[in-house]
Structure 1
Amino acid sequence: MTHELEQAKQPVSAALAGPYGHPFHPILVTVPIGAWVSSLVFDIGSRIVGDPGFLARGSVWLIAIGVIGALAAALIGTLDLLAIPTGTPAFRTGLTHMSLNLVVTAAYVVGFFWRRAASAGAGPVGIGPLVLSAAALVALAASGYLGGKLAYHYGVRVAAESTQAEGYATRHAA
């Protein structure tokens, strides 16, 4: 294994980014993904039900929760990015992944304030904010693909194969 690959597998700070083989970033990204997908479901629901206000208000809360979760995931993800040697395809993929996530988060921040400014109270979510959320989720899916490429193709923050092999060792009868 090359030094660069070994470096990308080790945390910059185990206390902040998670210990070797157990990064925190993949755990944290579930919060914004879940919140933002749910907010889109609430958006669509607000255009279908007879009393849409509670869904529109819930969607705003879910967007806020997602933004806070995204900021936490971004801080830890940045530590993981710093472990990747610069000038490598893995680092470029990490930069693209990070940039897309920042654009997505910015879109949700814009959507949050747009909804707050246009809040009629009891009405459904407007078509503009709904389309913005849908487009942001498409970009988030593309970023997720790149995150998967970092972990599963390049092995960033994944334990070395020698460590993984321990999980496949058979026990010998005593």
Structure 2
Amino acid sequence: MAHDMEQAKQPVSATLAGPYGHPLHPALVTVPIGAWVSSLVFDIGSRIVADPGFLNRGSLWLIAIGVVGALAAALVGALDLLAIPAGTPAFRTGLTHMSLNLAVTAAYVGGFFWRRPATAGPVAIGPLVLSAAALVVLAVSGYLGGKLAYRYGVRVAAESTQAEGYRSAP
């Protein structure tokens, strides 16, 4: 079991997934999360302001940026998943996390094409509801990602390494 835990802390490829103690996946996920949350804010705003076209177009761009960011995060996240021993609760959690994220990304790809081309009017209620529902699923997936890092310690430095930060200077 100790070997399994140490294996999940090491990168499969430090070049692609980030070195030990500095995984890239948590940094990359901020792009789709930020873009998609902002797109929902733009969607809601487009239903409030007098001239909604710029918010409608902005939301479309934010969804596209989020999809590209999600694909980058997924590639690096898949490498992190490969470091987790199969058949463990951490691996099953990782598979669920990945599956939910792929479903969210697919929903945003579908939503992108549903709302194209962006109109001068407000975002239609259907695409707005799809974005809101996708964000709810993304929040559940984010909870599972936090569980992987903070409960199971996937790609987190070992406690012996962490202890270096708490030693008093001579």
2:72 maps to 72
Matches within 5 A, 1:11-160: 11-116=11-116, 119=118, 121-160=119-158
Q: CA RMSD in A?
A: 0.8
CA offsets, 1:101-157, max 9 Å, x none? 00000000000000005x4x2100000000000000000000000000000000000
Q: Distance in 1 between matches of 2:160 and 2:98?
A: 29
The residue type paired with residue 22 of structure 1 is H
Deviation at 1:80, TM superposition (A): 0.1
Deviation at 1:24, TM superposition (A): 0.2
Structure 2 runs not aligned, ≥5 long: none
Q: Distance in 2 between matches of 1:92 and 1:68?
A: 26
State the percentage of identical aligned residues.
85
State TM-score, norm by structure 2: 0.99
SS at match of 2:48: coil
Q: Distance in 1 between matches of 2:133 and 2:45?
A: 17
Deviation at 1:171, TM superposition (A): 1.6
State TM-score, norm by structure 1: 0.96
1:10 maps to 10
The residue type paired with residue 112 of structure 2 is F
The residue type paired with residue 7 of structure 2 is Q
Deviation at 1:170, TM superposition (A): 1.0
The residue type paired with residue 104 of structure 1 is V
User: Across the two proteins, how many residue pairs are aligned to each other?
Assistant: 170
SS at match of 1:116: coil
CA offsets, 1:46-87, max 9 Å, x none? 000000000000000000000000000000000000000000
The residue type paired with residue 163 of structure 2 is A
Are 1:164 and 2:162 an aligned pair? yes
Q: Distance in 2 between matches of 1:57 and 1:134?
A: 18
Q: Distance in 1 between matches of 2:90 and 2:120?
A: 47
Structure 1 runs not aligned, ≥5 long: none
Q: Distance in 1 between matches of 2:13 and 2:108?
A: 29
Q: Distance in 2 between matches of 1:170 and 1:92?
A: 39
Q: Distance in 2 between matches of 1:113 and 1:88?
A: 38
Q: Distance in 2 between matches of 1:115 and 1:122?
A: 12
The residue type paired with residue 137 of structure 1 is L
Q: Distance in 1 between matches of 2:63 and 2:166?
A: 42
The residue type paired with residue 55 of structure 1 is L
